[in-house]
Amino acid sequence: MITVQEAKQLMINGKPIIYAGNRYSTEYDKVQSLIYEYSNGKFIPSVTLLDKNKNSVITVSLDQVEPKEKPKAKVEKQEKLSPKKAAIEKAKAIAREYFNNEGTEEDLVSYARLQGLILALKEAEKQYDNERVKKRKQRLKRRKENE
Protein backbone atom coordinates (compact mmCIF):
# COMPACT_ATOMS: atom_id res chain seq x y z
CA MET A 1 0.00 0.00 0.00
CA ILE A 2 1.23 3.48 -0.83
CA THR A 3 0.03 6.97 0.00
CA VAL A 4 -0.98 9.66 -2.50
CA GLN A 5 2.31 11.48 -1.80
CA GLU A 6 4.30 8.31 -2.46
CA ALA A 7 2.36 7.78 -5.70
CA LYS A 8 3.20 11.34 -6.80
CA GLN A 9 6.88 10.80 -5.98
CA LEU A 10 6.96 7.47 -7.84
CA MET A 11 5.32 9.11 -10.85
CA ILE A 12 7.88 11.95 -10.81
CA ASN A 13 10.83 9.59 -10.40
CA GLY A 14 9.58 7.04 -12.94
CA LYS A 15 10.59 4.13 -10.69
CA PRO A 16 9.27 0.56 -11.18
CA ILE A 17 6.29 -0.46 -9.07
CA ILE A 18 4.84 -3.79 -7.92
CA TYR A 19 1.15 -4.65 -8.38
CA ALA A 20 0.07 -7.23 -5.80
CA GLY A 21 -3.66 -7.32 -6.49
CA ASN A 22 -3.86 -10.87 -7.77
CA ARG A 23 -2.22 -14.14 -6.68
CA TYR A 24 1.07 -13.12 -8.26
CA SER A 25 3.04 -9.92 -7.81
CA THR A 26 3.69 -8.22 -11.12
CA GLU A 27 6.29 -5.53 -11.76
CA TYR A 28 5.23 -2.53 -13.84
CA ASP A 29 7.48 0.04 -15.47
CA LYS A 30 6.11 3.13 -13.73
CA VAL A 31 3.11 5.04 -12.45
CA GLN A 32 1.61 6.62 -15.56
CA SER A 33 -1.04 8.74 -13.82
CA LEU A 34 -2.82 9.44 -10.56
CA ILE A 35 -6.62 9.41 -10.81
CA TYR A 36 -9.29 10.54 -8.36
CA GLU A 37 -12.74 8.99 -8.68
CA TYR A 38 -15.75 10.42 -6.83
CA SER A 39 -17.93 7.78 -5.21
CA ASN A 40 -20.35 7.89 -2.26
CA GLY A 41 -19.32 11.43 -1.36
CA LYS A 42 -15.58 10.63 -1.27
CA PHE A 43 -12.64 11.03 -3.60
CA ILE A 44 -10.92 7.69 -4.10
CA PRO A 45 -7.35 7.83 -5.45
CA SER A 46 -6.00 5.21 -7.83
CA VAL A 47 -2.99 4.89 -10.12
CA THR A 48 -2.54 3.86 -13.73
CA LEU A 49 0.49 1.59 -14.20
CA LEU A 50 2.39 1.26 -17.49
CA ASP A 51 3.58 -2.27 -18.28
CA LYS A 52 7.21 -3.17 -19.04
CA ASN A 53 6.57 -3.35 -22.80
CA LYS A 54 4.97 0.10 -22.72
CA ASN A 55 1.97 -1.32 -24.61
CA SER A 56 -0.79 -1.31 -22.00
CA VAL A 57 -1.90 0.20 -18.72
CA ILE A 58 -3.88 -1.00 -15.72
CA THR A 59 -5.75 1.17 -13.21
CA VAL A 60 -5.62 -0.08 -9.62
CA SER A 61 -6.25 1.24 -6.13
CA LEU A 62 -3.35 2.46 -4.01
CA ASP A 63 -3.68 -0.43 -1.55
CA GLN A 64 -2.77 -2.91 -4.32
CA VAL A 65 0.62 -1.41 -5.20
CA GLU A 66 3.95 -0.89 -3.52
CA PRO A 67 7.29 0.55 -4.64
CA LYS A 68 9.78 -1.97 -6.00
CA GLU A 69 12.49 -0.51 -3.78
CA LYS A 70 11.51 0.32 -0.24
CA PRO A 71 12.74 3.73 0.97
CA LYS A 72 15.78 3.42 3.21
CA ALA A 73 15.45 4.40 6.84
CA LYS A 74 16.92 7.77 7.65
CA VAL A 75 20.07 7.72 9.75
CA GLU A 76 20.54 10.83 11.84
CA LYS A 77 24.19 11.85 11.47
CA GLN A 78 23.74 15.58 11.03
CA GLU A 79 26.33 16.48 13.67
CA LYS A 80 29.04 14.42 11.93
CA LEU A 81 28.36 15.70 8.40
CA SER A 82 30.48 18.39 6.81
CA PRO A 83 28.66 21.70 6.28
CA LYS A 84 28.36 20.96 2.56
CA LYS A 85 26.87 17.48 3.07
CA ALA A 86 24.56 18.74 5.83
CA ALA A 87 23.28 21.47 3.49
CA ILE A 88 22.71 18.91 0.73
CA GLU A 89 20.74 16.65 3.09
CA LYS A 90 18.67 19.61 4.24
CA ALA A 91 18.05 20.55 0.60
CA LYS A 92 16.84 17.05 -0.22
CA ALA A 93 14.45 17.03 2.75
CA ILE A 94 12.97 20.43 1.87
CA ALA A 95 12.69 19.52 -1.81
CA ARG A 96 10.84 16.30 -0.90
CA GLU A 97 8.49 18.30 1.31
CA TYR A 98 7.94 20.86 -1.46
CA PHE A 99 6.96 18.22 -4.02
CA ASN A 100 4.73 16.41 -1.51
CA ASN A 101 2.85 19.66 -0.74
CA GLU A 102 2.58 20.87 -4.32
CA GLY A 103 -0.93 22.10 -5.07
CA THR A 104 -1.98 22.27 -1.41
CA GLU A 105 -2.30 25.10 1.08
CA GLU A 106 1.15 24.23 2.44
CA ASP A 107 2.58 24.83 -1.04
CA LEU A 108 3.41 28.50 -0.36
CA VAL A 109 5.06 27.66 2.95
CA SER A 110 7.13 24.98 1.22
CA TYR A 111 8.08 27.44 -1.51
CA ALA A 112 9.22 29.97 1.10
CA ARG A 113 11.29 27.26 2.80
CA LEU A 114 12.79 26.38 -0.59
CA GLN A 115 13.82 30.04 -1.06
CA GLY A 116 15.33 30.01 2.44
CA LEU A 117 17.19 26.85 1.54
CA ILE A 118 18.78 28.52 -1.47
CA LEU A 119 20.17 31.21 0.83
CA ALA A 120 21.34 28.57 3.32
CA LEU A 121 23.10 26.66 0.53
CA LYS A 122 24.94 29.78 -0.56
CA GLU A 123 26.06 30.34 3.05
CA ALA A 124 27.14 26.70 3.41
CA GLU A 125 29.13 26.99 0.17
CA LYS A 126 30.97 30.02 1.58
CA GLN A 127 31.71 28.11 4.81
CA TYR A 128 32.94 25.11 2.84
CA ASP A 129 35.20 27.28 0.69
CA ASN A 130 36.58 29.00 3.81
CA GLU A 131 37.35 25.62 5.39
CA ARG A 132 39.13 24.47 2.22
CA VAL A 133 41.24 27.65 2.19
CA LYS A 134 42.15 27.18 5.89
CA LYS A 135 43.16 23.56 5.34
CA ARG A 136 45.22 24.49 2.30
CA LYS A 137 47.04 27.22 4.27
CA GLN A 138 47.71 24.73 7.08
CA ARG A 139 49.15 22.19 4.61
CA LEU A 140 51.38 24.85 3.04
CA LYS A 141 52.54 25.98 6.50
CA ARG A 142 53.41 22.38 7.48
CA ARG A 143 55.33 21.87 4.23
CA LYS A 144 57.37 25.01 4.87
CA GLU A 145 58.09 23.87 8.44
CA ASN A 146 59.21 20.43 7.22
CA GLU A 147 61.62 21.91 4.65
pTM confidence score: 0.46
Question: Around 146, how many Cα atoms within 13 Å sit in the side-chain half-sphere?
Answer: 6
Question: Around 20, how many Cα atoms within 13 Å sit in the side-chain half-sphere?
Answer: 11
Q: Where are the domains of the chain?
A: 4-67, 78-146
pLDDT 10s digits, 40-61? 888 889 999 988 888 888 999 8
Q: Is pLDDT at 8 greater than 50 in this prediction?
A: yes
Supply the DSSP string of 13-41, one letter for each residue: HT--EEE-SSSS-EEESEEEEEEEEEETT
May I ask the CATH architecture of the domain 4-67? Roll (2.30)
Over the chain, what is the mean pLDDT?
78
pLDDT 10s digits, 62-104? 888 888 876 555 555 445 666 667 777 777 776 666 666 565 5
Least Cα distance to 4 among 39, 45, 33 occurs for 45
Q: Decide: 21 and 60 in contact? Cβ < 8 Å.
A: yes
Q: What is the pLDDT of residue 48?
A: 92
